[in-house]
Amino acid sequence: MGPCVALVGNPNVGKSTVFNALTGLHQHTGNWAGKTVDVAKGVFTWQGETVEVVDLPGTYSLQTSSPEEDIALDYLLHGQARGVVVVCDATCLERNLILALQVLEVTGSVLVCVNLMDEAARLGVHVNLDALEQHLQVPVVGISAGTGAGMEGLKESIVALARGELQGQARPPLPPMERVHIAQAYAQQAVAATPTPQARRQEKWNKWLTSRGTAIPLMLVLLAVVMWLTVAGANLPSSLLSQAFDGLGGLLERWTQGWPPSLRAFFLDGVYGVTAWVVSVMLPPMAIFFPLFTLLEDLGYLPRVAFVLDHAFQKARACGKQALTMCMSLGCTACGVTGCRIIDSPRERLAAMLTASMVPCNGKFPTLLALITLFLVGEGGSLVGAAALLGVLLLGVAATLGCTRLLTATVLRGTPSAFVLELPPFRRPRVGQVVVRSLLDRTVFVLARAVVIAAPAGGVIWLLANLTVADQTLLSYITGFMEPLGRFMGLDGVILTAFVLGWPANEIVMPVMLMAYLAQGSLVDFDQLTGVQSLLEAQGWTMTTAVCTLLFALFHWPCSTTCLTIYRESKSIQWTLVAVAVPTLLGMGLCILVNGVSHLLIL
């Protein structure tokens, strides 16, 4: 490995995009401050020389106040970096120069990289790089990492920096105010701005997306559109995939003809069946939802959501940035939990972590959707399905706020901390790149989970359903044990067992449930939803069962990955247990309530 340089910069100046453009790696990027919370490393080779690049989390300052900023300073002081590349945002150079000046007080081996030159030009901001270079007395390179413009020049300069050819003098330390004034003076002499129609359009959109009257309706419409595209778009690929799996299943059946019957059943009905279900039912909605969501993220919409919702979080004595982590949780709860690092106050960060699993993650969508379609809205079409899914989602948001308030009134009492949130300029999402990238990422992710979790789970559940002790299957012992509690909650033993066995991944709850029912005798083709419906009804499902299952699917213990992540982030078994207990108790309580009320109404 060659010498190492570190990328430093304000949050959301496109450091990760620069990093990706340099190294060809695929660090996740998004248009909001705090997207990168970990250190990423990569290498690039330019004309035979290899340089290691370290992408540090964004920081406003080297005098730190949040954990991810500590990482940056730590690395600068104690890392092995031969030099520092300060990445600046051309659209907001003045503010960025404050950090650049601070870095220059620590080391003279600095290269200033002004990113987003194309965005700046669109907004009518012109940066005079030569003037800047003269003022700072270190090399300045202008690039647009999104399009790749200027990357060759940047690589050349970084190689020079890594070779130690750009060693300058560190500046004498200044009091903070002085530094701001110098940044202001430099920026005034190097930046010329004449607002373009584009800039005015940005302002107008910003107003619509954040103001009273339009912000919340627009947010709901956007969410509904995303849901609708997910629901409507998933149908066709889902049925195609399921047909393909049927075909493959037929082939496998022929190939395994000589196998012992029980091994064959274990493999085909257990391992293959569950894997096929998970992939065909789970993959399409995820593969549609994620790219859409990433587009909103790239555009810069998510911080606006946090801005709009902050008042509610303020009421819950928490941080508005929790709205950002909720958005992350929508994709994957574990990601949401890691994302909580953007919240500065430890108290508010914990509140966000403990309630992260109340927003339904992607793995729960298909289960929720299937229940909604089967029992609540009937074949109302994708529009009704999307509306119902949106309703479920809003229920999750309400529960998050409610439980956050409950936590901040009890175990997490304290004063609300300050809230400083940057609303970045809207950036044109790189549609093609985003869609392809997140589609591939998701597909690989789901397939990997299918192999690692769904396939073994399918095997285990088959064994449980087929190994007998004293003429009873192991599964029936478990479901029998769960039955009383399940019934009390408006579910049954099988449903509760499926949730327990589904701990490794929410995706497998539904297939495990269906397999457990199938193992109890009735055989239907459960590739079709109607088949599933008749199976469930034959097992005594009523509207109450469906509603309770839906509620429990929404609110129960976080999956194993999330639990591990919460433990890693909080470093506390107690808090992890609280994170398990809060949604579980809420879900159980709601189920018992619904079950009780429906019994009262029927009797």
Partner 1 sequence: MNRSWNLAELEEGESGYVMSVSTHPALKHRLEDLGLIPGTRVTCMARSPAGDPCAYLIRGALIALRQADAREIVLRPAHERGA
Residues that bind partner 1 (CB under 8 A): 60-61, 63, 65, 91-95, 98-99, 176-177, 180, 183-184, 203, 206-207, 210-213, 215-216, 303, 306-308, 310-312, 314, 320, 416-425
User: 143 near 115, Cβ under 8 Å?
Assistant: yes
Between 326 and 515, whose beta carbon lies closer to partner 1?
326
> What are the Cα distances from residue 554, in Å, to 266, 281, 587?
31, 18, 7
Question: What are the contacts of 69-78 at 24+ separation with CB within 8 A?
Answer: 71/39, 72/8, 75/6, 75/39, 76/6, 76/8, 76/103, 76/106, 76/107, 77/106
Whole-number minimum distance, CB 91 to partner 1, in Å? 7
Beta strands 83-89 and 110-115: pairing type?
Answer: parallel
* Coil, helix or strand at residue 115: strand
Q: Which tokens in the block code for residue 320?
A: 């508005």
Q: Residue 108 corresponds to which tokens in the numbers above?
A: 């003279």
Farthest-apart Cα atoms in the chain, separation: 87
Which residue's CB is nearer to partner 1, number 55 or number 89? 89
Say if residues 132 and 186 touch (Cβ distance below 8 Å): yes
Distance from C-alpha of 143 to C-alpha of 139, rounded to nearest angstrom: 13
Q: How many CB atoms lie within 10 A of CB 175?
A: 8
Which CB sits closer to partner 1, 12 or 476? 12
Distance of alpha carbon 15 from alpha carbon 53, whole angstroms = 11
Calpha distance 139→99 (Å, rounded): 16
Q: What minimum distance in Å lies between the beta carbon of 303 and partner 1?
A: 8
Q: Is the dihedral of CA 253, 255, 257, 263 positive or negative?
A: negative
Query: Closest approach of Cβ 353 to partner 1, in Å?
Result: 21
Q: How far is CA 41 from the centre of its chain?
A: 21
The helix/strand/coil state of 83 is strand
Q: How far is the CB of 595 from partner 1 (least distance, A)?
A: 37
**425 Cβ contact list (under 8 Å, min separation 6):** 91, 119, 123, 202, 300
CB nearer partner 1, residue 61 or residue 239: 61
> Least CB distance from residue 131 to partner 1, whole Å?
17
Please identify, using beta-carbon distances, which residue of 128 and 466 lies nearer to partner 1.
Answer: 128
Contact (Cβ atoms closer than 8 angstroms) between residue 539 and residue 491: no
Beta-carbon contacts of residue 405 (< 8 Å; ≥ 6 apart): 315, 316, 317, 318
Find the shortest distance in angstroms from Cβ 124 to partner 1: 12
Which one, 52 or 297, has the nearer CB to partner 1? 297
Please identify, using beta-carbon distances, which residue of 221 and 448 lies nearer to partner 1.
Answer: 221
CB of 207 or CB of 487, closer to partner 1: 207
Q: Which is nearer to partner 1, 95 or 163 (CB)?
A: 95
In angstroms, what is the minimal distance from the CB of 352 to partner 1?
A: 17
CB of 252 to partner 1, least distance (A): 56
Is 417 or 560 the residue whose CB approaches partner 1 more closely?
417
Structure tokens at 5: 């340089």
| C-beta of 416 vs 456, nearer to partner 1 | 416
In contact, 81 and 110? CB cutoff 8 Å: no
Shortest distance in whole angstroms from residue 191 CB to partner 1: 9
Nearest to partner 1 of 88, 154 (CB atom):
88
CB 576 within 8 A of CB 566: yes
Instruction: Tell me how far, at minimum, the Cβ of 180 lies from partner 1, in Å.
Output: 5
Least Å from the CB of residue 488 to partner 1:
40
Nearest approach in angstroms of CB 302 to partner 1 is 13
Minimal distance, residue 63 CB to partner 1, in Å: 6
Query: In the complex with partner 1, which residue's Cβ is closer, 53 or 215?
Result: 215
For residue 125, the surrounding DSSP H or E stretch is strand 125-127
- Residue 206 or 466 having the CB closest to partner 1: 206
Q: How far is the CB of 209 from partner 1 (least distance, A)?
A: 9
Of 471, 449, 445, the residue nearest 458 (C-alpha): 449
SS (H, E, C) 158-220: HHHHHHCCCCCCCCCCCCHHHHHHHHHHHHHHHEEECCCHHHHHHHHHHHHHHCCCCHHHHHH
Question: Residue 42: is it exposed, middle or buried by C-beta count within 10 angstroms (0-12/13-18/19+)?
Answer: middle
* Strands of the sheet with 4-9, listed across from one edge: 40-46, 49-55, 4-9, 83-89, 110-115, 140-142
| Residue 270 vs 303, nearer CB to partner 1 | 303
CA 158/CA 83 separation, integer angstroms: 8
Least gap, CB of 385 to partner 1 (angstroms)? 28
